[in-house]
C-alpha cells in the first residue's frame, strides 16, 4: 500500500472504514453472489430511480474520531455546569463508579436488544426485576412495570389507564395544582385528543367534583408534602382512580402511596444515580394494583420456569401488545428506558435500604437545617417538606442573581425562590447557600420534621438488596448478569426493523462528560449555549439527510415521535378549521405502534391492503381515499416497507393523499436504507420520525433509551411541541409538550452527532449501500434453503429480508420458534420473529457486519434447515418431540447432566466447528410462556430459586 497524498496520511475518513464491516475485496465477493458487476449497478437495481436523490448530501466530509471529539469538546466548553438547586423533578445524583463503568459504559449492557428472547436475556431481566421490586417496595403497590419513558408521559399513561379502569361516567380528569408544570403540560396535550376535560385545582376541588381519575403530586412543585389519604378516599368514593406522582427518593422516608389508598403510583427514578442530562434519558416507574395488570401500559417482567423446571424470567403479558392488539393496545409504547431502569435498580442494590435511608435522611436533614436558618428572616411557603424549602420574598430576583454569581442555580418564579437539596449537597455548599441568604446555618443536629408522614414499614428486604454493598461483590454480581446475556459485543443481532448496528466507542464517550451529563433541563439559557449549539447542529445534519424544513428533538422514543408527528398533522388541520379530518389510513404491513398511536390521537384507523409483493395495494388505497375524502387526515406509511421493499409507487401514493386533503406521515424505522440515496421529504412525506437508536447509532440499551425526533415540512413546522417551563428554541409558544423535557433525552444526542460527523457526506452513502448489499447477500445465500417472501421488481430486497418458515413447518413440523431457540446454540440472537408476517423471520444485518460474521450466520441457518429435514426423515432416532431444535437451547447443565437424547452432546452444544472457538451458553432452557402468564409473579423470587 502506498500513500501518495497527505490526505491519505491524515486519513480523516478512518472511522468510515471502522464502521463498515467489509472492504473492497469482501464487497466484490458479495456482489458476485448477488449477481452484480459493481456496487453502483447493484444499488440501481434495488432503489427505484424515481426516488433517488442523485446528488451529494449537503454535509461536510468525514472527520476523524479525535477531531470530531475535539469539535464537540468546544461546544461542551460553552456549557456551564452550575451547582443545581432548581429541583422541579430533576436533582443532581451520584452514580456509583462501579455501576457507571460496568453497566453504563459497558457494551455488554448497552448494546443488548429488548429481551424478547428470554433465554439469552436473563441478566437484564433480573436487573429489571430488581427495578420492579424497588418500585413495588417503595410505593407499596402490588405490581410495577419495567419502566416508562419519563414522568410526564407516565402521568399521561396513568390518565388513560384510569379511564379504562374507572367505573365513573365522568369525562373529567382532575390534576392537583401542586403538580410539576411539565407534567401538566404533557397531560393537557394527551387529554385533548383523548377527548378528556382536565380540571386543575386544590384538594377541595378534587373532593367536590366528579372525575374518572385524579392525579396528586406527593411532594408538590413548591416542595410541600401533604398527607393525601383523605382526598384520595374522597375521590375514590365517587368512582375515580387515584394516581400519585411521587419523588422516588422521598418515598425512602415518606409513607407509601399505597398506604394512602392510591390505585397507581408513578414518578421518575432519576434521583437513583442517573445524571440530569439536560432532561434525560430517565426511567419512569409505574406501579399499580394486581387487579389492573392487564390494563397497564408498557412492559412487565415476570417469573416463570424453563423446560427443566428451573426459575426463568421473561417479559409477561404485554410482550408484543402493540403488534397483536394494534389500535386496541393499552398504549403505543415500544421503547422503554431499560438501561436507565437497570442503573436505578442497581443503585438500590448497591446502597441497600440502609444506604438509601442515609442518603434520603441527609437530604431531608439538610433541608430542615436550612429551613431553621431562614425561617426567622423569610416567609417560608410550607413547614412540611422533604427536600425543598421555598421562600416568598420581594428580594427573589436579587437572591437568585447573588446565587448565580457564586455558581448556584435556584428555582425562581415571580416572588418565589426555591432551594432543593440533593444527594451531592455537602457542608460547604450548605454554608454557602446560607451565606447567599444572609443567614447562619447549623449542622450540629439531624432533624426529621415529617412526623406522621414518616414511613414505618421495611423495604428492600430481599437478599439481592442486602448482598452486594462492597465493590468486589457488586462487580461480580454485575459480571454474572452480563454473562447471561447475548449482546452485540458477542455476535451480530440481525433483527429486521430494529437496525442493531455498531455503537462506536467514540460516539459513546461524550455522554458521560460532565457538561452533557450534569446540566438541569431548566438551567438558565446562558448556561446551556453549548448544548443548544450541539442540538441545533444535529438538527441541521438531520435536515440535510431527510430534506425537511424543521426538526423537533423532543420525542424521546420512536413511538413518541409517531405521536408528535400525528399531533403536528392534527394541529395543522385544526388551524385550517378541518377539525373533521380524523381518518388515518394505515397499510396492513405497518408497525403495530402506528395504529396504536393513531387511536391515541383520536383518529379512526382504516387498514389499507397490501399486494402479493408487499406493496401498498394502490387500488384499495384509491378506494379508501375516495370513500373518506372529506375526513382524510393522514396516511401512515413505512418506507422502505415493513416487508423490506422499496415501493415504486411512493410518489403516487403521497400525491393521492394530498389530492384528498390528507398529510403523509412516514415511519422512519427503515431510514437505514434511505440515507444519502433518497430523502423522504423529496418523495412527498410531510412528517417523519427518525429512530436515532436505529439508523443514527444510539444503542438499544436492552430496550431503551431511544430518541425519535421528527422532521417536518414548513407548513407543519409551526406545530412542533414546545415546553411550558423552558420553551424550545425553534418552536412557537402555546404548542403543548409531548415529553417532560424540552429536548427529550438530550444527553444521548451527542452519539448521533458524532456518528454523522465522523461518517460525513460520503461515509453515510457508503453505509447505506453496504447495508443494502449485506441484506441482499444474506437473502441470496439463504434463498435455496428458505423462500424469501418479498422482493422488488428486480428480485432485490432493501436493507432487510423476510424468510418464510411456513413451508418448512408444514414439511417437518419445525417452527420459527424452534429455529429462534436453536440459533442460540449457534451463538446468535434470532431475527425478528413472526413480524410483519406470522411464521417468518425478518433479517437485517446492517452495514457494520463483516462477511465472516454474515457467513457464520448463514451457515447456522443452513445447518438448521438440514437438522429440520433430519427430523422429517426420522434419521438417527430423531423424533418430532425429541431433537436438537425442539429441545433448544441447550444449557451447560443439560449438556453435562444425564443424557438420553438421540443426538450427541456435541450436536446439541457445538453444532458447527466455529461455535467451539467462542461458545455462548444460554443460562436457562426454553422458557414456558404460558406458565408465566398463568402464574404471574413480578417481584424478586427467593435466592434459592436461582440455585
- Residues 473-496: what's their mean pLDDT? 97
Confidence band, pLDDT 50/70/90 cuts, at residue 320 = very low
Q: What would the grid cell of residue 70 be?
A: 475535539
Q: What would the grid cell of residue 178 be?
A: 401542586
Confidence band, pLDDT 50/70/90 cuts, at residue 934 = low
Q: Residue 323: pLDDT above 80? A: no
Q: Cα–Cα distance between 235 and 19 in angstroms, integer?
A: 57
Q: Residue 75: pLDDT above 60? A: yes
Q: Please say whether the beta carbons of 105 and 427 come within 8 A.
A: no
Q: Cα–Cα distance between 60 and 232 in angstroms, integer?
A: 58
Q: What would the grid cell of residue 921 be?
A: 451458553
Q: Residue 825: pLDDT above 90? A: yes
Q: Residue 188: pLDDT above 60? A: yes
Q: Which residues contact 547 (CB under 8 A, 6 or more apart)?
A: 679, 680, 681, 682, 711
Q: How high is the pLDDT of residue 612?
A: 76
Confidence band, pLDDT 50/70/90 cuts, at residue 259 = very high
Q: How high is the pLDDT of residue 798?
A: 95
The predicted-structure confidence for 629-662, as pLDDT tens digits, reads as follows 999 999 999 999 888 889 889 999 999 999 999 9
Q: How high is the pLDDT of residue 611?
A: 83
Q: Cα–Cα distance between 88 and 420 in angstroms, integer?
A: 8
Q: How high is the pLDDT of residue 591?
A: 74
Neighbouring C-beta atoms of residue 354, cutoff 10 Å: 12
Residue, of 940 and 176, whose pLDDT is higher: 176
Q: Residue 207: pLDDT above 90? A: yes
Q: Cα–Cα distance between 942 and 129 in angstroms, integer?
A: 12
What are residue 379's phi and psi, to 5 degrees?
-85, 115
Q: Cα–Cα distance between 157 and 297 in angstroms, integer?
A: 7
Confidence band, pLDDT 50/70/90 cuts, at residue 912 = very high
Question: What kind and span of H or E run contains 301?
Answer: strand 300-305
Q: Which residues contact 440 (CB under 8 A, 6 or more apart)?
A: 373, 434
Cα angle: 606, vertex 610, 611; to 5 degrees: 150
- The pairing of beta strand 583-587 with beta strand 632-638: parallel
CA distances from 64 to 11, 747, 764 (A): 7, 22, 14
Confidence band, pLDDT 50/70/90 cuts, at residue 398 = very high
The predicted-structure confidence for 882-905, as pLDDT tens digits, reads as follows 999 999 999 999 999 999 999 999
Q: How high is the pLDDT of residue 571?
A: 97
- Residues 381-398: what's their mean pLDDT? 97
Q: Which residues contact 391 (CB under 8 A, 6 or more apart)?
A: 374, 378, 379, 380, 381, 416, 417, 418, 419, 437
The predicted-structure confidence for 351-362, as pLDDT tens digits, reads as follows 999 999 999 999
The predicted-structure confidence for 275-296, as pLDDT tens digits, reads as follows 999 999 999 999 999 999 989 9
Q: How high is the pLDDT of residue 333?
A: 78
Q: Cα–Cα distance between 420 and 424 in angstroms, integer?
A: 11
- Residues 125-152: what's their mean pLDDT? 97
For residue 705, whether the previous peptide bond is cis, meaning omega lies within 30 degrees of 0, is: yes
Closest-CA residue to 706 (of 748, 734, 652): 748
Q: Residue 422: pLDDT above 80? A: yes
Q: How high is the pLDDT of residue 318?
A: 55
CA distances from 872 to 248, 838, 876, 890, 906 (A): 56, 22, 11, 21, 21
Q: How high is the pLDDT of residue 590?
A: 76
Question: What kind and span of H or E run contains 634?
Answer: strand 632-638
3-state SS, 187-245, equals: HHHHHHHHCCEEEEECHHHHHHCCCCEEEEECECCCCEECCCHHHHHHHHHCCCEEEEE
Q: Please say whether the beta carbons of 143 and 300 come within 8 A.
A: yes
- Residues 792-811: what's their mean pLDDT? 95
Beta bridge partners of 412: 417
| pTM score | 0.97
* Cα dihedral 926, 929, 930, 934 sign: positive
Q: How many CA atoms lie within 13 A of 345 on its CB side?
A: 33
Q: Cα–Cα distance between 763 and 335 in angstroms, integer?
A: 28
Q: Please say whether the beta carbons of 773 and 757 come within 8 A.
A: no
Q: How high is the pLDDT of residue 792?
A: 86
Buried b (16+ CB within 10 A) or exposed e, 159-191: bbbbbebbebebebbbbbebbbbbbbbbbbbbb
Cα angle: 427, vertex 431, 433; to 5 degrees: 115
Q: Residue 942: pLDDT above 80? A: no
User: In degrees to the nearest 10, what's the CA dihedral of 94, 100, 101, 107?
Assistant: -170
Q: What percent of the chain has pLDDT over 70?
A: 97
Q: What percent of the chain has pLDDT over 90?
A: 90
Residues constituting the chain: 947
Q: Cα–Cα distance between 881 and 867 in angstroms, integer?
A: 13
The predicted-structure confidence for 41-61, as pLDDT tens digits, reads as follows 999 999 999 999 999 999 999
Q: What would the grid cell of residue 871 be?
A: 427430523
Q: Residue 589: pLDDT above 60? A: yes
Whose grid coordinates read 463508579?
97
Helix (H, G, I), strand (E, B) or coil at 899: coil
What are residue 430's phi and psi, to 5 degrees?
-60, -45
Cα angle: 758, vertex 764, 765; to 5 degrees: 150
Q: What would the grid cell of residue 300 be?
A: 412487565
Q: Cα–Cα distance between 241 and 212 in angstroms, integer?
A: 6
Lowest mean pLDDT among 325-339, 463-477, 512-526, 829-843: 325-339
Any idea what DSSP says for residue 705?
Answer: -
Angle, nearest 10°, between helix axes 24-34 and 39-46?
Answer: 50
Mean pLDDT across the chain, nearest whole number?
95
Q: How high is the pLDDT of residue 431?
A: 98
Q: Cα–Cα distance between 910 and 884 in angstroms, integer?
A: 11
Q: Cα–Cα distance between 220 and 89 in angstroms, integer?
A: 10
- Residues 793-802: what's their mean pLDDT? 94
Q: Residue 946: pLDDT above 50? A: no
Q: What would the grid cell of residue 481 be?
A: 448478569
Q: How high is the pLDDT of residue 945?
A: 57
Q: Residue 3: pLDDT above 90? A: no
For residue 640, whether the previous peptide bond is cis, meaning omega lies within 30 degrees of 0, is: yes
Amino acid at each position: 500500500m502506498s500513500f501518495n497524498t497527505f490526505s491519505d496520511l491524515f486519513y480523516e475518513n478512518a472511522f468510515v472504514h471502522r464502521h463498515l464491516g467489509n472492504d473492497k475485496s469482501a464487497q466484490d465477493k458479495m456482489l458476485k453472489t448477488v449477481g452484480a458487476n459493481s456496487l453502483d449497478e447493484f444499488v440501481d437495481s434495488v432503489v427505484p430511480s424515481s426516488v433517488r436523490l442523485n446528488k451529494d448530501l449537503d454535509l461536510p466530509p468525514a472527520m476523524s474520531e479525535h477531531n470530531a471529539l475535539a469539535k464537540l469538546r468546544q461546544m461542551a466548553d460553552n456549557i456551564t455546569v452550575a451547582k443545581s438547586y432548581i429541583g422541579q423533578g430533576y436533582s443532581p445524583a451520584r452514580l456509583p463508579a462501579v455501576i457507571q463503568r460496568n453497566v453504563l459504559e459497558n457494551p455488554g449492557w448497552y448494546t443488548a436488544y429488548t429481551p424478547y428472547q428470554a433465554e439469552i436475556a436473563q441478566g437484564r431481566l433480573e436487573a429489571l426485576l430488581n427495578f420492579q421490586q424497588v418500585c413495588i417496595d417503595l410505593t407499596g403497590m402490588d405490581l410495577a412495570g419495567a419502566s416508562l419513558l419519563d414522568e410526564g408521559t407516565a402521568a399521561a399513561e396513568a390518565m388513560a389507564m384510569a379511564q379504562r379502569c374507572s367505573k365513573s361516567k365522568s369525562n373529567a380528569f382532575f390534576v392537583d395544582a401542586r403538580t410539576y408544570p411539565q407534567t401538566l403540560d404533557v397531560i393537557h396535550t394527551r387529554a385533548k385528543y383523548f377527548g378528556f376535560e382536565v380540571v386543575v385545582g386544590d384538594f377541595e376541588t378534587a373532593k367536590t367534583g366528579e372525575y374518572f381519575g385524579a392525579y396528586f403530586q406527593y411532594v408538590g412543585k413548591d416542595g410541600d408534602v401533604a398527607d393525601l389519604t383523605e382526598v384520595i378516599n374522597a375521590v375514590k368514593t365517587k368512582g375515580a382512580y387515584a394516581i400519585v406522582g411521587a419523588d422516588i427518593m422521598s418515598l425512602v422516608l415518606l409513607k407509601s402511596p399505597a398506604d394512602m389508598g392510591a390505585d397507581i403510583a408513578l414518578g421518575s427514578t432519576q434521583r437513583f444515580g442517573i445524571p440530569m442530562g439536560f432532561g434525560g434519558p430517565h426511567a419512569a416507574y409505574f406501579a399499580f394494583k394486581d387487579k389492573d395488570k392487564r390494563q397497564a401500559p408498557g412492559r412487565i417482567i415476570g417469573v416463570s420456569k424453563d423446560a427443566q423446571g428451573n426459575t426463568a424470567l421473561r417479559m409477561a403479558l404485554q410482550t408484543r401488545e402493540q403488534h397483536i392488539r394494534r389500535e386496541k393496545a393499552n398504549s403505543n409504547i415500544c421503547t422503554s428506558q431499560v438501561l436507565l431502569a437497570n442503573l436505578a435498580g442497581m443503585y438500590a442494590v448497591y446502597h441497600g435500604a440502609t444506604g438509601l435511608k442515609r442518603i434520603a435522611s441527609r437530604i431531608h436533614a439538610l433541608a430542615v437545617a436550612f429551613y431553621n436558618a431562614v425561617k426567622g428572616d423569610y416567609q417560608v411557603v410550607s413547614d412540611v417538606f422533604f427536600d425543598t424549602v421555598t421562600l416568598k420574598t420581594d428580594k427573589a430576583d436579587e437572591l437568585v442573581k447573588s446565587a448565580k454569581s457564586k455558581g448556584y442555580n435556584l428555582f425562581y418564579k415571580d416572588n418565589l425562590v426555591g432551594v432543593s437539596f440533593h444527594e451531592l449537597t455537602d457542608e460547604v455548599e450548605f454554608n454557602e447557600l446560607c451565606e447567599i441568604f444572609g443567614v447562619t446555618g447549623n449542622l450540629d443536629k439531624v432533624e426529621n420534621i415529617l412526623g406522621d408522614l414518616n414511613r414505618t414499614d421495611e423495604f428492600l428486604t430481599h437478599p439481592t438488596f442486602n448482598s452486594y454493598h462492597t465493590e468486589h461483590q457488586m462487580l461480580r454480581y454485575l459480571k454474572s448478569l452480563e454473562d447471561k446475556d447475548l449482546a452485540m459485543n458477542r455476535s451480530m443481532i440481525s433483527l429486521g426493523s430494529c437496525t442493531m448496528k455498531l455503537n462506536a466507542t467514540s460516539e459513546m464517550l461524550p455522554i458521560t462528560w460532565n457538561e452533557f451529563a450534569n446540566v438541569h433541563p431548566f438551567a438558565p439559557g446562558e448556561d446551556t449555549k453549548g448544548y443548544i449549539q450541539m442540538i441545533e447542529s444535529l438538527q441541521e445534519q438531520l435536515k440535510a439527510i431527510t430534506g425537511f424544513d424543521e426538526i423537533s428533538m423532543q420525542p424521546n422514543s420512536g413511538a413518541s415521535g409517531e405521536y408528535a408527528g400525528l399531533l403536528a398533522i392534527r394541529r395543522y388541520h385544526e388551524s385550517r378549521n378541518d377539525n373533521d379530518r380524523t381518518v388515518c389510513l394505515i397499510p396492513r404491513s405497518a408497525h403495530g405502534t402506528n395504529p396504536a398511536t393513531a387511536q391515541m390521537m383520536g383518529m379512526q384507523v382504516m387498514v389499507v391492503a397490501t399486494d402479493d409483493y408487499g406493496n401498498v395495494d394502490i387500488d384499495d388505497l384509491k378506494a379508501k381515499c375516495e370513500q373518506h375524502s372529506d375526513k382524510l387526515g393522514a396516511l401512515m406509511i413505512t418506507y422502505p416497507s415493513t416487508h423490506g421493499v422499496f415501493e415504486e409507487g411512493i410518489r403516487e401514493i403521497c400525491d393521492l393523499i394530498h389530492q384528498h386533503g390528507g398529510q403523509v406521515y412516514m415511519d422512519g424505522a427503515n431510514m437505514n436504507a434511505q440515507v444519502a440515496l433518497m430523502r423522504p421529504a423529496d418523495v412527498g412525506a410531510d412528517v417523519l420520525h427518525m429512530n436515532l437508536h436505529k439508523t443514527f447509532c444510539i444503542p438499544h440499551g436492552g430496550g431503551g433509551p431511544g430518541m425519535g425526533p421528527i422532521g417536518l415540512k414548513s407548513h407543519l413546522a409551526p406545530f412542533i411541541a414546545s415546553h411550558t417551563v423552558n420553551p424550545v428554541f425553534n418552536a412557537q409558544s402555546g404548542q403543548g409538550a409531548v415529553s417532560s423535557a424540552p429536548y427529550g433525552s438530550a444527553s444521548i444526542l451527542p452519539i448521533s452527532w458524532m456518528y454523522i460527523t465522523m461518517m460525513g457526506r460520503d461515509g453515510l452513502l457508503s453505509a447505506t449501500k453496504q447495508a443494502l448489499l449485506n441484506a441482499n447477500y444474506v437473502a441470496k445465500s439463504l434463498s435455496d434453503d428458505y423462500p424469501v417472501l418479498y422482493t422488488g421488481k428486480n428480485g432485490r430486497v432493501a436493507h432487510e429480508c423476510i424468510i418464510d418458515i411456513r413451508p418448512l413447518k408444514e414439511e417437518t413440523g419445525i417452527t420459527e420458534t424452534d429455529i429462534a431457540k436453536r440459533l442460540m446454540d449457534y451463538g446468535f440472537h434470532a431475527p425478528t420473529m413472526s413480524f410483519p408476517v406470522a411464521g417468518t423471520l425478518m433479517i437485517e444485518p446492517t452495514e457494520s457486519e463483516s462477511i465472516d460474521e454474515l457467513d457464520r450466520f448463514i451457515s447456522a441457518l443452513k445447518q438448521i434447515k438440514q437438522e429440520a429435514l433430519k427430523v422429517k426423515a426420522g434419521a438417527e432416532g430423531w423424533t418430532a418431540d425429541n431433537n436438537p431444535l425442539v429441545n433448544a437451547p441447550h444449557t451447560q447443565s443439560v449438556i453435562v447432566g444425564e443424557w438420553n437424547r438421540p443426538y450427541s452432546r456435541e450436536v446439541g452444544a457445538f453444532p458447527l466447528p466455529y461455535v467451539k472457538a467462542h461458545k455462548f451458553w444460554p443460562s436457562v432452557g426454553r422458557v414456558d410462556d404460558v406458565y408465566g402468564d398463568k402464574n404471574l409473579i413480578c417481584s424478586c423470587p427467593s435466592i434459592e430459586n436461582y440455585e
